[in-house]
Structure 1
Amino acid sequence: MLRLPLAIFAILLCSLNLYSQRSTGTIYQLIIYHFQDKEQEAALDLYMAKALLPVLHKRGVHKIGAFKPIANDTAKMKQLYVLLPFKNWKDATEWRLAILKDKDYCNDAAAFHAAPYDKAPYTRMENIYMQSFALAPTLTLPVLSGSIADKVYELRSYESGTEERYRNKVHMFNEGGEIDLFKRLGFNAIFYGDVIAGSRMPNLIYMTSFNNMEQRNEHWKAFGESPEWKKISTMATYQKNVSKADIILMHAAQYSDY
């Protein structure tokens, strides 16, 4: 007779623990716009610079990142990544409707929203929601030097075969020491995100930044040769916890807060 109450208690305790983990830190929304040509790109840039970022700044959302992959130059389908940090889930889920009450935004965004169906300003839009990592609870603006054209922002996405292997990879970043190693080597990490909703799951995403491509390559060489990484990466407990990795190198848009 005691087993049922104990089982229920264990489930409730686990649920409360998960809720506690999800209620702290920063919520990240990553919006990915897919576009095909200069006309669509110009429409997106104008909307971001004159309408969306200004209204979000007005609402207290700062440190907004806007990035374009370096590969856009040769890609048939191009992309714009917009990173939004929020203090809580309420702000992250209600802003879209809230900004429609702002008269300045509605005026500045009118052409973007009222575009003809055959002249849409983008081809497709994706949304990814993330919770910040335990040991990196807030977004950090990078300390970089040099021109916007030279600065490199590297977005990495790691998928895992199972939830258990995914949690193992997250542990590797936090308690395992990867985040500490990035800090020691000066990777200028911007955020680490546990994907809560997205098209690829289980999945974590993080972003680092560099003054230029040469510095980026030097940092990763130092990372791979470091005693800490050689120790962490060969530990039996951290094997086979990534099934797919994507690396996207980007430059910041002119209107980005970065």
Structure 2
Amino acid sequence: MKRRVFVKTSIISSAAAAILPQIGFAQLKPNNKTHMYYELRTYILKDANQQRLVEGYLEKAAIPALNRQGIANIGVFTELKPSGQSILIVLIPYQSLHEFETINNRLEQDKLYITEGAAYLNAPATKPAYERIKSSLLKAFKNMPGIELPPKDKRIFELRRYEHASEAAGTKKREMFNDVGEIDIFKRLGFKPVFFGETIIGEARPNLIYMVTFDDMAAHHQHWKSFSADPEWKKISAIPEYADSKLVSKITSTFLQPAEYSQI
């Protein structure tokens, strides 16, 4: 049986259709009336052979095929300091839920994709390409409706997930980012955020996920120190309704480095 790259599920399709009407996706950047959706995919791998197979598929087959479909700025990352075999994290931006919903069918019509990805797509059950894929579908924040590319210098990334005790707490935390100025503080202090998204389908909901960029770990420490001391942040976080103890129940932070062929 041919191994599917993009998992088709009626649950995802139905949820996607309920969240946003189908809209066009010809342009590469969202306009002022829309925002992007992100598929955040984590490949769980058991050894270097699986990593080589998945990375070869992403570099030679998946990313070129997605680019041919007008989907740009695809990120591929490995862990900065893995404790064992590194996971692979892939970020795929979509202009709409319709684009996300129909990408499988369009890829299946791409003969070059099928040919270049054959080793991955047809990997046997006795020698699978990966152990599992964990995927989340994220909705971009209104005040950062699309991906912002950092400079292509030497850099590391921090992927942060904030879990909330309730949907109401999640709404309030997103309000801090969008309406009260938290995103602006990140940008002013030079965090170079790549995206902010609310998880609408995925594990550990309700949560939000975002990615920021640093030159190295020393710069990471200095930026967060500056953030904690920032007068505007102190002013916002001192408002009782915005206390993190009420809005964020768990923070998960993953440090990443881009693959050579990553478009982010």
Bin for the TM-score computed over the shorter chain: 0.7 to 0.9
Gaps in structure 1 of 5+ consecutive residues: 1-17
Paired residue for 1:37, among 40, 43, 47? 47
Amino acid at match of 1:167: T
Please tell me whether the aligned partners of residues 152 and 251 of structure 1 are also in contact (alpha carbons under 8 angstroms): yes
Amino acid at match of 1:97: N
Match of 2:258 in 1: 252
The C-alpha deviation readout for 1:29-73, integer Å capped at 9, x for no partner, is 11111101101111011101110001001111111000111232x
Please tell me whether the aligned partners of residues 144 and 210 of structure 1 are also in contact (alpha carbons under 8 angstroms): no
Give, in whole Å, the separation in 2 of the partners of 1:119 and 1:216: 39
Out of 24-33 and 137-146, give the one that drifted further. Answer: 137-146
Match of 2:236 in 1: 232
The C-alpha deviation readout for 1:107-126, integer Å capped at 9, x for no partner, is 01111111121211110001
Match of 1:123 in 2: 131
Match of 1:104 in 2: 112
SS at match of 2:126: helix
User: Using a 3 Å threshold, how does the CA distance of structure 1 residues 145 and 19 change in structure 2: closer, same or farther?
Assistant: closer
CA drift at 1:174: 1.1
Moved over 3 A (4+): none
Give, in whole Å, the separation in 2 of the partners of 1:36 and 1:229: 42
Paired residue for 2:67, among 50, 57, 70? 57
Amino acid at match of 2:75: G
Match of 1:94 in 2: 102
Superposition TM-score, scaled by structure 1 size: 0.87
Paired residue for 1:198, among 199, 202, 215? 202
Structure (1 or 2) with the larger CA radius of gyration: 1
Amino acid at match of 1:234: A
CA drift at 1:188: 0.5
Please tell me whether the aligned partners of residues 130 and 196 of structure 1 are also in contact (alpha carbons under 8 angstroms): yes
Amino acid at match of 2:236: I
Identity, % of aligned positions: 36
CA drift at 1:218: 1.1
Out of 52-61 and 213-222, give the one that drifted further. Answer: 213-222
Give, in whole Å, the separation in 1 of the partners of 2:67 and 2:89: 18
Amino acid at match of 1:96: N
Aligned length: 234
Does 2:241 match 1:241? no
Gaps in structure 2 of 5+ consecutive residues: 1-18, 24-32
Give, in whole Å, the separation in 2 of the partners of 1:46 and 1:87: 26
Match of 1:222 in 2: 226
Match of 2:174 in 1: 170
Paired residue for 1:84, among 86, 92, 99? 92
Please tell me whether the aligned partners of residues 210 and 216 of structure 1 are also in contact (alpha carbons under 8 angstroms): yes
Superposition TM-score, scaled by structure 2 size: 0.85
Does 2:121 match 1:113? yes
RMSD of aligned alpha carbons: 1.6
CA drift at 1:19: 5.6
Give, in whole Å, the separation in 2 of the partners of 1:197 and 1:190: 20
SS at match of 1:117: coil
Match of 1:12 in 2: none
Paired residue for 1:138, among 131, 138, 146? 146
The C-alpha deviation readout for 1:95-139, integer Å capped at 9, x for no partner, is 122101101000011111111212111100011111110111111
